[in-house]
């Protein structure tokens, strides 16, 4: 029987570079979701693609525990959840060329101008993310905030290691892979626009 503790992964120590496959019983394509919340995407993706190895990162302890319990109840042995600072994790703890797909859905937009420096999608983070992506790997980013989306587009376009591709080309299959994140479902009901961008590692 799968327990929450089997799903939870301890964050790395200072200076430690992790081996993502060490968290799973067998190797497979490695996908990382930043800000997994209650695990809606992880659940759908993990069930639809048992061959994929998924790590969800969540900072909010309540959601982190909820997601881990949810994966355990569904007996998803191909999913792990970690509570840590995603920016630090990507920039300092991931080995080069380990990610097949990077999922970033509805990152905190920090809408006030004085807080824009706290936004995740900025050149230093994207540089680290690209370093950790395999050749041909995809990055998928989604937000409901038009101002943040403009910044995301600019940062991604400004990195010569990334090539923008169609969302569908990146492997997004709504009916098969997932029914949307919790935020996406909520915002769709409210009639908000959802902005998406996908890019591929050169």
Residues noted as catalytic: 108
Give the chain's count of helices (H) and strands (E).
8, 8
Query: Where do runs of H (alpha helix) occur along 8-121?
Result: 40-48, 61-73, 86-92
- Measure the CA–CA gap between 21 and 78, rounded to whole angstroms: 10
- Measure the CA–CA gap between 50 and 46, rounded to whole angstroms: 6
Cα within 13 Å of Cα(182), Cβ side = 11
- Measure the CA–CA gap between 112 and 135, rounded to whole angstroms: 36
């Amino acid at each position: 029987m799968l327990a929450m503790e089997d799903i939870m992964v301890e964050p790395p120590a200072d200076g430690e570079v992790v081996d993502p496959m060490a968290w799973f019983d067998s190797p497979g394509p490695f996908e990382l979701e930043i800000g997994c919340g209650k695990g809606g995407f992880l659940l759908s993706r993990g069930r639809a693609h048992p061959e994929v190895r998924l790590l969800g990162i969540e900072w909010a302890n309540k959601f982190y525990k909820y997601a881990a319990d949810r994966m355990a109840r569904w007996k998803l042995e191909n999913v792990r959840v970690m509570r840590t600072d995603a920016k630090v994790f990507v920039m300092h703890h991931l080995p080069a060329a380990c990610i097949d797909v990077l999922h970033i859905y509805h990152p905190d937009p920090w809408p006030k101008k004085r807080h824009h420096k706290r936004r995740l999608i900025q050149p230093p983070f994207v540089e680290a993310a690209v370093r950790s992506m395999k050749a041909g790997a995809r990055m998928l980013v989604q937000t409901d905030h038009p101002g943040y989306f403009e910044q995301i587009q600019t940062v991604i376009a400004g990195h010569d290691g990334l090539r923008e591709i169609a969302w569908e080309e990146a492997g997004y299959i709504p009916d098969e892979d997932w029914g949307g994140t919790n935020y996406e479902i909520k915002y769709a009901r409210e009639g908000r626009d959802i902005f998406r961008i996908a890019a591929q590692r050169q």
